Amino acid sequence: MQVSPSLLSADFANLERDIRMLNRSEADMIHLDVMDGVFVPNISFGFPVIKAVAKHSKKPLDVHLMIVNPQNYISQTRDCGAAIMNVHQEACVHLDRTIQAIKAAGMKAAVTLNPSTPVIMLEDVIQELDMVLLMSVNPGFGGQKFISRATEKVKKLREMISASGSKALIEVDGGVNLETGRLLADAGADILVAGSYVFSAPSPEKAISSLKDL
Ligand code: DX5
Ligand code: ZN
């Protein structure tokens, strides 16, 4: 299992310290949640913060854009050090064009689905994708309760990926802890995002290791 701890639950006044902890940990990447107050009912942080994180991170940056018009921010996302750019299907009218542009900019292309969006919406682009991010909470906030239907979506997506010959990895985001992570691992998830579970643990490094072992 790969693990992508979400910095949304880190201590923003001690980001460098928390990034150093993640560098030492078994985390495979760092998940960065950008919220614009329009696509989701909350505002988090933007490109200057990602740039500052990139300066200290030894792990690839997994950038999750919860914003409208993400196609307008592809070069900015690349320039601030993102390895993976996640755009929401619900935010993209010309999703295929946006995926091609992300790859042309040199990043891995990932598409995110809200809990209410069925995986079938990706049938015609799945072969183009490096990753699919399934939301297991409604995006906008850390610390929410896991929506258990996500495990069914992981299974459906796994079938679609196998049938199409796509190499896309399946990442799941929201309400992940040891218990829900186990269900997602059994369903076929490749990468788990975890915010509050990691950062509220007595030892965040151990919490990351325990998810890695699922
Ligand atoms: C929610 C974000 C998540 C969030 C997850 O909108 O996309 O990445 O940080 O937080 P937890 O793991 O606490 O549900
Ligand atoms: Zn996220």
Query: Residue type at 200?
Result: S
Number of domains in the chain: 1
Per-residue pLDDT 10s for the chain (214 aa) are 999 999 999 999 999 999 999 999 999 999 999 999 999 999 999 999 999 999 999 999 999 999 999 999 999 999 999 999 999 999 999 999 999 999 999 999 999 999 999 999 999 999 999 999 999 999 999 999 999 999 999 999 999 999 999 999 999 999 999 999 999 999 999 999 999 999 999 999 999 999 999 9
Query: Which residues have beta carbons under 5 A from ligand 2 (an ion)?
Result: 33, 64, 173
Per-residue pLDDT tens over the stretch 151-165: 999 999 999 999 999
Best residue among 193, 198, 200, 208 to mutate for probing ligand 1's pocket (most ligand atoms within 8 Å of CB) is 193
- Give the active site residues: 33, 173
Return the residue whose CA atom lies nearest to atom 10 of ligand 1.
142
120: domain CATH number is: 3.20.20.70
Instruction: Give me the sign of the Cα torsion angle 130, 50, 6, 142.
Output: negative
Atom of ligand 1 nearest to the CA of 140: 6
- Is the CB of residue 122 less than 8 Å from the CB of residue 168? no
193 lines ligand 1 (CB under 6 A): yes
Atom of ligand 1 nearest to the CA of 143: 13
Per-residue pLDDT tens over the stretch 60-98: 999 999 999 999 999 999 999 999 999 999 999 999 999
100 lines ligand 1 (CB under 6 A): no
To the question of pTM greater than 0.85 for the whole model, the response is yes
Structural domain span for residue 161: 2-212
- CA separation (Å) from 67 to 90, 199, 209? 10, 24, 31
Instruction: Name, in order, each residue with C-beta under 8 angstroms of 155's C-beta and a sequence gap of 6 or more.
Output: 187, 188
Two structure tokens written together for 65: 């854009």
Atom of ligand 1 nearest to the CA of 144: 14
Instruction: Give me the sign of the Cα torsion angle 134, 135, 140, 144.
Output: negative
